[in-house]
Amino acid sequence: MRVSLICLVLLTFAGCESPADKAEWLVEQIVATPSDWARPEHKRTVAEAKDELLQLGPAALLAMINGLGNDNRFVGMWLLEPIVAAGDSAVEPLAAALMDENANRRQWALLAITGLATKGVDISAAIPAILQCTGDADAEIRALSLPAISCAQHDRGVTQLISSLNDPDEHVQSEAAKYLGVIATIRAPGALIKEDTHPPVTHDVLADIKPILLSALSDESAIVRCEVANALGEFGPSVESAVRQAMMDSDAHVRAAALRSLACIRTDGAVEDLIDSLDDRAAPVRFQAATWLGVLADPDTLVLSRLRPPPLPEIQPQAISSAIPTLDAAANDNDPGVRKAATNALKAIRRSPTKGK
């Protein structure tokens, strides 16, 4: 009799439970304890809780955002999807979370806001809070604020990205360079990426970005120089001399990034430079050279890989075929990544309609 009464009380309570109360309980199931997370079956519990949070929608936002403060990074990973799925309703609560003392909550809130922006949600209401995060004491938060800024539906983010190139932390600097390149790629007038929902930046803004990046190419941090060399590939032939300078950098990853950019900006795809770079002393450069020779040989891949406006490079059949002997040698490289890239490039060249006879 007592058991039946308890069950009746529980059922009655469950029937009166508000969506917010249910959301708190579901988040508690995800947060759990370290010992719970150690149990293999806990993943199923978490997955079921996440699915129910998705169904609750905006009513679950407060509980989910509170859960982002947990030290267990897996909690944030599971909560991110239902938060972003809440759409416009999530912008203001997430903006408020950016002012929270809990660094974990600020980090995950930035990731969620970026996720919303990439889905076309207007994050304008969160921009003041995001800009405040660019000056956060935590370097990781400053870095995470930059992709959100690059998604902003106005040009104010470009100014902040340029400013962040002078951040004391090299990771923040490199992120700033990367996202300046992203803006130049997918938000430039006439860009090929049609699914980008944000308005393009103006030619004047792009003109402001280029000299800043060219200056950062001499940064003392190789990580920054690498991102800058990557970004310069979106500015066309006018930066070829600077890219060639970067190809002589002491850091292999910078040289590899510069080689990729050269392949993007040369109307002939820089085939000869790619072939020469298969003899570079560093595996990352040889890998990039082999990879791009394969890209240039495959018209379908080439279109997908080039995000800037046309014209695409016109590769002469004899030029791409001249890479075969060097790629044959690279297919026996001592680095497995280079061997695989060279083998794939040879396959692409031999099946390509542009290959020489």
State the number of CA atoms in the 13 A half-sphere of 41 facing the CB.
Answer: 0
The DSSP secondary structure of 221-252, one letter per residue, reads: -HHHHHHHHHHHTTSGGGGHHHHHHHTT-SSH
For residue 344, what is the enclosing H or E element?
helix 336-351
Mean pLDDT of 57-68: 94
pLDDT value at position 243? Answer: 93
Mean pLDDT of 92-97: 96
Domain boundary among 235, 265, 295: 265
Q: How many residues does the chain have?
A: 357
298-312: burial string, b at 16+ Cβ within 10 Å, e else: beeebeebbbbeeeb
15-53: burial string, b at 16+ Cβ within 10 Å, e else: eeeeeeebbbebbebbbbeeeebeeeebeeebeebbebb
Domain boundary among 224, 247, 265: 265
Mean pLDDT of 149-177: 85
Mean pLDDT of 56-80: 93
Domain boundaries, position 204: 167-265
pTM listed for this prediction: 0.75
Residues 34 and 88 in one domain: yes
Domain boundary among 92, 127, 153: 153
pLDDT tier at 311, thresholds 50, 70, 90: low
Helix axes 170-186, 156-164, angle to 10 degrees: 140
Classify residue 70 as left (phi > 0), alpha (psi -120 to 50) or beta.
beta
Residues 176 and 276 in one domain: no
**C-alpha distances in Å from residue 194, one per residue of 123, 149, 191:** 20, 20, 8
247-302 pLDDT tens trace: 999 999 999 999 988 888 887 778 899 999 999 999 999 999 999 898 888 766 55
Q: Is the pLDDT of residue 7 over 50?
A: no
Among 188-202, 209-223, 323-337, which range has the highest average pLDDT?
323-337
Cis peptide before 311 (omega within 30 of 0): yes
12-23 pLDDT tens trace: 445 547 888 999
Average model confidence (pLDDT) for the chain?
A: 84
Q: Which amino acid is at 258?
A: A
For residues 112 and 81, is the Cβ–Cβ distance under 8 A? no
102-138 pLDDT tens trace: 999 999 999 999 999 888 898 989 999 999 999 999 9
Instruction: Establish if 254 belongs to a structural domain.
Output: yes
Residue located via tokens 């990781």: 140
Q: What is the distance between the alpha carbons of residues 256 and 249, in angstroms, rounded to a whole number? A: 10
For residues 114 and 76, is the Cβ–Cβ distance under 8 A? no
Instruction: Establish if 237 belongs to a structural domain.
Output: yes
Number of domains in the chain: 3
Paired tokens of 322: 């001249």
Residues 244 and 143 in one domain: no
Q: Which amino acid is at 60?
A: A
Instruction: Establish if 23 belongs to a structural domain.
Output: yes
Residues 294 and 193 in one domain: no
For residue 72, the domain's CATH number is 1.25.10.10
